[in-house]
Structure 1
Amino acid sequence: MLAAARVGLRALFPPSCIACGEAVGSEFGLCGTCWAETEFARGTVCDACGTPLPGEAAEEEHVLCDDCIAHPRAWAQGRTAMLYSGTGRNLVLALKHGDRLDLVPPLVGWMARAADPLLHPEMMIAPIPLHRLRLLKRRYNQAAELSRALARRTGQDHCADLFLRTRPTASQKGKSREDRHANLTEAIRINPRRAGNLAGRALLIVDDVMTSGATLSAATEAALEAGATRVCIVTLARVAKAP
């Protein structure tokens, strides 16, 4: 009976591409065109940010992109699901500004695959925070939605309010690397009520997009100061050039 009902619903409402709405063969999928325009971070990737790199590396070899060599990261390892271009950029913007929370399950599926090498038992997952004024305007924190679903999918502990934004910060868009880092100075700290949960544990920080890494660096430094033993990061998308 239930199976028949599902078949009937699929006939009335066939699956559609999560990016453009064209008909596809399965739920939460991409059509051929949108798939081709999505730069997934697969194969050899930078061990610090997840950017795809040309060539092949040994399974245990840690390689870095030029950006992460020039600007060493505060965190230990990082991964991303895709590049911030084409369909990937459209999906990020739809989630961030288009109230497309229906995108969270498929996007988190991609993030879980990317984050798999970083995960281990007893690791905590937490999102980059929004300041309360921006949260009121946007109504939800897209990073928190992703981190909550990622923790549920991977079976890790989740702490949605581990970090606090101590002050509103100007948009990072159009700023230089130096200005981005200056903009985040003392803007992110550990929630005093959650500090005891973090001390002595590894942490995976989740954000939607990494550009310069300034926000992730600020959160990483706050976590290490609070006693985290190791900090890794995973993002939905990375602003970078394809290899």
Structure 2
Amino acid sequence: MKIGAQIAEGLRPIVDLVYPPRCPLCGDAVADQGGLCGECWSELEVPGEPACLTCNRPLSSDAAKAVSQCFVCTNDPPLHSGVHAASIYNDASRRLILNYKHGRKIALAPLLARLIAARVLVHGETVPLLIPVPLHRWRLWSRGFNQAALLAQELAKLGKGDAIVDALERTKRTPSLGGLGQKEREAALKGAIRPRKSKVSQLSGRDAILVDDVLTSGATSNACVDALLNAGVSSVRIACFARVMDGTKI
């Protein structure tokens, strides 16, 4: 155990005494800091099987189950090589994300990352790059942190890859994508995301995992995946805490 971890473990009883562990969703007492109570755990919806091998959507039709791929990915293959979602976007995951991102409760990052890590497999001896979806500098300054970058760093601590938090940059300030249609989202993001020139040499020939808190329509992730592939990345998977299913409002 590293010295920093030993110190943290030694101080844990004092921290628990001063700040008794509470569930970040309902406020009930829990056994450990950064955990959810049993009832709130049960409210999280974990992607089940069978699911599309490409995008992780649940498969309902027999035809889709036969080929292990949804009709969306069959008809229009995505640029990415797979999606790893810790949960399906619902009321519980939405509240966690709001507390984390807009409530500035960045102490939730380790919890969210552990849930993501449980869905991410690292194949063979190849160590992937963990690359967060970038924020525009004005958004970063106003919020104070990039929620995706914190998740990427936590995933690196869990052995899921090497984090490069500034591999991508958002070159123009885009409007909020909430409420926009797919074509409107794509138009708003056109030319907005590119690889950082100083990091291109580190990207070439590597497999990457794009990290974000929520995967919605895929417009932002598609722009990031396209930028990474153009920079010479071999493949890109997507890892997120919550996956919005078609028709779900966000």
8 Å contact 2:117–2:160 — kept in the other structure?
no
CA pair 157-62 structure 1, distance change in 2 beyond 3 A: farther
1:116: how far off?
2.0
**Aligned counterparts of 1:156 and 1:48: Cα–Cα separation in 2:** 20
Structure-1-length-normalised TM-score: 0.87
1:40 paired with 2:50, answer no
Q: 2:235 aligns with which of 230, 237, 242?
A: 230
Structure scoring higher RCO (CA < 8 A, sep ≥ 6) equals 1
Q: CA deviation at 1:240?
A: 1.1
Go from structure 1 to structure 2 and tell me whether the alpha carbon gap of 1:120 and 1:231 turns closer, same or farther (over 3 Å shift): farther
Check whether the contact 1:123–1:202 (CA below 8 A) recurs between aligned residues: yes
Q: Give the TM-score normalised by the residue count of structure 2.
A: 0.84
Structure 2 CA distance for aligned equivalents of residues 139 and 5 of structure 1: 27
Whether the 8 Å CA contact 1:15–1:27 is kept in 2: the answer is: yes
Task: Sort the Cα spacing of 1:239 and 1:67 in 2 relative to 1 into closer, same or farther, 3 A.
Answer: farther
| Cα 1:192–1:36 shift into 2, 3 Å | same
State the AA in 2 paired with 1:20.
Answer: C
Once superposed, what is the RMSD of the aligned Cα atoms?
Answer: 2.7
In structure 1, how many angstroms separate the alpha carbons of the residues matched to 2:70 and 2:28?
A: 36
| TM-superposed deviation, 1:4 | 9.3
Choose which of 21, 25, 28 in structure 2 pairs with 1:15.
Answer: 21
Say which of 153, 156, 167 aligns to 2:172.
167
CA 177–131 in structure 1, closer or farther in 2 if over 3 Å, else same: same
Question: How many Å apart are 1:118 and its aligned residue?
Answer: 6.2
Counterpart of 2:92 (choices 74, 87, 91) is 87
Task: Give 1:154's aligned residue.
Answer: 159
- Higher mean alpha-carbon deviation, 11-20 vs 185-194, is at 11-20
Kept in 2: contact 1:24–1:30 (CA 8 A): yes
Distance 1:4 1:188, change over 3 A: closer
- Number of positions where the alignment pairs a residue of Structure 1 with one of Structure 2: 237
- SS of 1:44's partner is coil
Distance 1:62 1:126, change over 3 A: farther
**SS of 1:183's equivalent?**
helix
Q: CA deviation at 1:46?
A: 2.9
Measure the CA separation in 2 of the matches of 1:132 and 1:11. 39
* Aligned-pair identity (%): 36
Is the 1:49–1:80 Cα contact (8 Å) retained in structure 2? no
- Structure-to-structure mapping, 1:130-149, within 5 angstroms: 130-149=135-154
Post-superposition CA distance 1:140-191 (Å, at most 9, x none):
1101111111112115211110001010001110001111111111110000
Distance 1:170 1:13, change over 3 A: closer
Contact 1:77 1:118 in 2 (8 A): no
- Could you tell me which amino acid in structure 2 is paired with residue 144 of structure 1? A
Alpha-carbon distance, 1:50 to partner: 2.8
In the alignment, residue 36 of structure 2 is paired with which amino acid? L
